A and B are shown apart, each in its own frame.
Chain A
Amino acid sequence: MSEVQRKKYTEQEKNKIFDGEFMPHIDSMYNFGYRLTFDEDDAKDLVQDTYLKAYRFINSFEQGTNAKAWLFRILKNSFINDYRKKSKQPSKVDYQEVETYYNSDDVDYSMTSDLRVDSVKDMLGDEISNALNSLAVDFRTVIILCDLEGFTYEEMAKILDIPIGTVRSRLHRARNLLKEKLRSYAQNMGYNTDEEG
């Protein structure tokens, strides 16, 4: 969130921005909050907190710019700064997995998956959801922002405060991990994941 106060909005302008540009994104915001915390109450708190901050700092929002990206950035920061700190199980995620990936400089694009398009299309919502939820939070986040919410790499870079190159490589790694999960679901479902299958 920019600390620069660009201009002062009147009460009427504030309400107009809040209702017209912020509130329409509440579905996406709640979904993001829920996918980060896996808990309805925590997601509600996170979203409510985000909207209160958005209102408080509304003067640093430039009317007509990307409100959704601005709100997502606040929610992401609230999650990291507030939620994770007070959570009793902070970051109980596969950091080993994250570390191993982050410590390698290059992304392996040659890694191919024998997962089939047909088996992906036949998967149940729970299987897709569980596969996504099983990813470490940083990987899960880039998939949510890109695939669920349709943000561009440039927008994601701003939301996450990371360079575009990192967005690209993190997303590719996240997708490889997701494909691994989906592949094991596909195998359990009895789909043949071999090339000839």
Chain B
Amino acid sequence: MENSLEGSGERKLQCSDVSKCFQLLESILDGNNVPDSQEILKSKLAKCQPCFEHFHLEQAIKEVLRNKCTKHEVPSELVANIRQKIEEIK
């Protein structure tokens, strides 16, 4: 797996608190305000294999969703229709 070459041998294979760790990792990945997020992330990903895998999988899914599911072109007449309706209710 990419990024897993360095130090993967030092990572523990079992996470001691999957629920807490995964929640925290998802909060950080989702851009929520988590104190010391960069330090936490660096440490967890370096030390714990399940955390490392979970984070990178969630990150990859988030990226493909964002890149491939946001490209619906707005119908050209929509903006004009909205403006026209607004003029009518003014």
Contacts and interface: CB of A to CB of B under 8 A. Distances in A.
On whether the two chains bind one another, the answer is yes
B57 A132 contact: no
A124 to B, nearest CB: 8
Interface stretch (A65-73, A85-93, A94-102, A172-180): A172-180
A178 B61 CA distance: 9
Interface residues of B, number: 40
Contact of A120 (B19, B30, B54, B60): B60
Interface stretch (A2-10, A74-82, A140-148): A140-148
A172 B81 CA distance: 38
B81 A52 contact: no
Given A123-B64, A178-B61, A52 B56 contact: no
B45 to A, nearest CB: 13
Interface string A34-75: 110000100010011001100110000000000000000000
B68 A128 contact: yes
Interface of A is mostly: helix
B47 to A, nearest CB: 18
Contacts of A118: 1-2
Contacts of A17: none
Interface string B41-58: 000000000100110111
A125 B2 contact: no
Given A121-B64, A175-B58, A30 B74 contact: yes
A55 B56 CA distance: 42
Given A109-B19, A153-B32, A168-B23, A117 B74 contact: no
Contacts, number: 115
B78 A26 contact: yes
A171 B32 CA distance: 14
Interface of A: 11, 18, 23, 26-28, 30-31, 34-35, 40, 44, 47-48, 51-52, 55-56, 107, 109-110, 112-113, 115-118, 120-121, 123-125, 128-129, 132, 143-144, 146-148, 150, 152-154, 168, 171-172, 175, 178-179, 182
Given A30-B74, A123-B64, A179-B57, 14 more contacts: A11-B90, A26-B78, A28-B70, A47-B78, A52-B86, A56-B89, A110-B19, A118-B1, A128-B68, A129-B69, A146-B30, A152-B30, A172-B23, A182-B61
Interface of B: 1-2, 18-19, 22-23, 26-27, 30-33, 50, 53-54, 56-58, 60-66, 68-72, 74-75, 78-79, 81-82, 85-86, 89-90
27 contacts: A18-B86, A30-B72, A31-B69, A31-B70, A34-B72, A44-B78, A47-B78, A48-B85, A55-B89, A107-B19, A109-B19, A109-B22, A112-B50, A112-B54, A115-B57, A128-B68, A128-B69, A129-B69, A150-B31, A152-B30, A152-B32, A154-B32, A168-B27, A171-B30, A172-B23, A175-B26, A175-B61
